[in-house]
Structure 1
Amino acid sequence: MGTEPGLRERKKLQRRAAIEAAALDLFEEHGFDGTTTEQIAARADIAPRTFFSYFATKEDVVLADYAQRLDRIVEELARRPAGESPWDALRASLLVVASDYEDERSALMRRFRIMTTNPSVFARSLALQAGWEDTLSSVISERIDTDGEQGGMLARLLAASALAAMRSAIQHWVMSGHRDPLPELATTCFDQLARGLADVS
């Protein structure tokens, strides 16, 4: 009896992975708009209604790893030394995720291609990224000495800036055909922001 919940959870994860794989294959074969949830269900060998037990929309299938990535960043932030500056903690935590992206490049490229070529998926990704900003600004505010509204403003500025650096690095990484490792590109963006942008010419 003690192993039953673990087995049930593994089966759920396997089914979720099967739905993702079926959906991504179909999106590449027929296009995002040309694929229905019924087709995804048939390819994954599940009932059509079962799809919605795992994903609310087709967009959410493409962006299925977003929650996991955010959890990873928050976990890394919790591991950073207490005396480390908020910016350095964010930088280090996001660079860990950049390394994850580099290691999972082939699988990620499939998702990125679909995301960047379909407006509804891209719009959904922006909405999720706004949620990342909310979460990270809340977490990083615990490292900021300034209290009150100004502390909250600075926390959001740091979170938004760090995510902008990461987003710029990822976009260049994808568009350049991965010539340079993503962690190196992200480091360049973080370092430039730390110096300031006034000297860019």
Structure 2
Amino acid sequence: MSTLRERNRLRTRDDIATAAITLFEQHGYEATTTEQIAKAAGVSVATYFRHFPSKEDVLFADEDRSAAAMVERVSERTDRSVSVSALAEPVAAFAVDLEDERTFRLTHLVMTNRQLEPRSLRMRLRWEREVSRRLAAEQGRAEPSQDDSLVASVAITCLATALRFWDKTSSSTGLSDLVRHMFVRCAQVIDEDGQSGQRKVSA
């Protein structure tokens, strides 16, 4: 059971994040200062930095938790094969947990600010690394193989593409459907390329 102090800490952290997202939307990420965020959240600048080391950390506060959640979904899948298709439902299930208004707004901010691209890429690479390690561990390997890494990379690319196009919609729902669509299209594109390659060889 969480203590009152812990609940207050989480509430303060949430207040800061909410204020930051609103200010970023109103004034732009680059133009917003940590002082403005702290004031809007009703806390001191020192309190802000106790919760978030930098301005961009507000938008990536759930990085550790999201990576853990992704691995948990993968570990619970029914299809235990190391394949892209086996990861479609786990990744879609992970996407369901993101389908809320706040995450939708946050995704829009991240996807439309070039200053945030390095941090966004770092999160994506972390997802890939954690998933590939999970696949390797299931096969009794200490380190991911080429197949583990390739499958994880393609699966996370499907998620990243869905996030990019989710940002272009007007609804905070539907991300999981976009993820499933990306997995289907991925299989179709690979199949089409393979068939065209075969036709070229036989011509």
Normalising by structure 2, we get a TM-score of: 0.82
8 Å CA contact 2:73–2:94 kept in 1: the answer is no
Instruction: Please give the residue correspondences for 1:140-151 in structure 2 after superposition, counting only pairs within 5 Å.
Output: 140-144=135-139
What percent of counterpart residues are identical?
31
**SS in structure 2 of the partner of residue 20 of structure 1:** helix
Per-residue deviation at 1:95?
0.8
The residue number in structure 2 matching 1:175 is 168
8 Å CA contact 1:86–1:143 kept in 2: the answer is no
- After superposition, the Cα gap between the structure-2 partners of 1:6 and 1:62, relative to the gap in structure 1 and judged at 3 Å, is same
The residue number in structure 2 matching 1:126 is 121
Per-residue deviation at 1:109?
2.5
Runs of 5+ unmatched residues, structure 2: 197-203
Per-residue deviation at 1:16?
0.5
What is the RMSD computed on CA atoms of the aligned residues?
Answer: 2.6
Normalising by structure 1, we get a TM-score of: 0.83
8 Å CA contact 1:62–1:121 kept in 2: the answer is no
8 Å CA contact 2:59–2:110 kept in 1: the answer is yes
The residue number in structure 2 matching 1:86 is 82
Q: Deviations over 1:153-193 (max 9, x none)?
A: 21111111100011112222322445993222211222343
Per-residue deviation at 1:195?
5.3
Runs of 5+ unmatched residues, structure 1: none
Quick one: distance in 1 between partners of 2:16 and 2:151?
36
- After superposition, the Cα gap between the structure-2 partners of 1:48 and 1:176, relative to the gap in structure 1 and judged at 3 Å, is closer
Per-residue deviation at 1:90?
2.6
The residue number in structure 2 matching 1:6 is 3
Quick one: distance in 2 between partners of 1:29 and 1:187?
33
How many residue pairs get aligned? The number is 193
The residue number in structure 1 matching 2:130 is 135
